[in-house]
Amino acid sequence: MTEADKESSSSFELGTDGPSVILVGVDDTTTASRAGWYAAGLARRQRARIVAVFVAPLHGFVASGAGGAALMVAQDEAFREAARDMDRRAQEVAAELGISITFIATRGDPYAEIRRIAEEVRADAIVVGASARSGHRFVGSLAVRLVRAGKWPVTVVP
């Protein structure tokens, strides 16, 4: 075995023989739910594992004082509750289909966080739901931004 053969056999390679890690963006929208089910079916058929990512956007402005603090506490609790519910549902689907799902909940810019996590977990593919917001036709949706990054195959589920 040559040195090049040794290096290529031990190095990580994206996108070979179908995906082994599929990252799916999830939230409480219908298109994200469809994306989750699509990714689950793909993972079952390909014997891949899923990394389900929920990204809650950061809220830029919070009023100061007791009202602002109470709002921040309420937003934090809502985020944790939504994350717990999504994680529970993901584990139910994993058990039902016999697949592996890792759930990650984070806050920030959805594009930046999904991209960061995809690189960390070495995702072979990304599945997201199509945006239902009309303004994204002009600004660019999450899916379009991920496609333009050109690092992973991106499936957009309507």
CATH class given for the domain over 17-157: alpha beta
pLDDT tens for 73-93 read 888 899 999 999 999 999 999
- Strand 125-129 and strand 21-25: the pairing is parallel
pTM (global) more than 0.85: no
Report the C-alpha gap between 31 and 131 in whole angstroms. 8
Domain positions in the chain are 17-157
Of the CA atoms within 13 Å of residue 130, those in its CB half-sphere come to: 6
pLDDT tens for 21-44 read 999 999 989 999 999 999 999 999
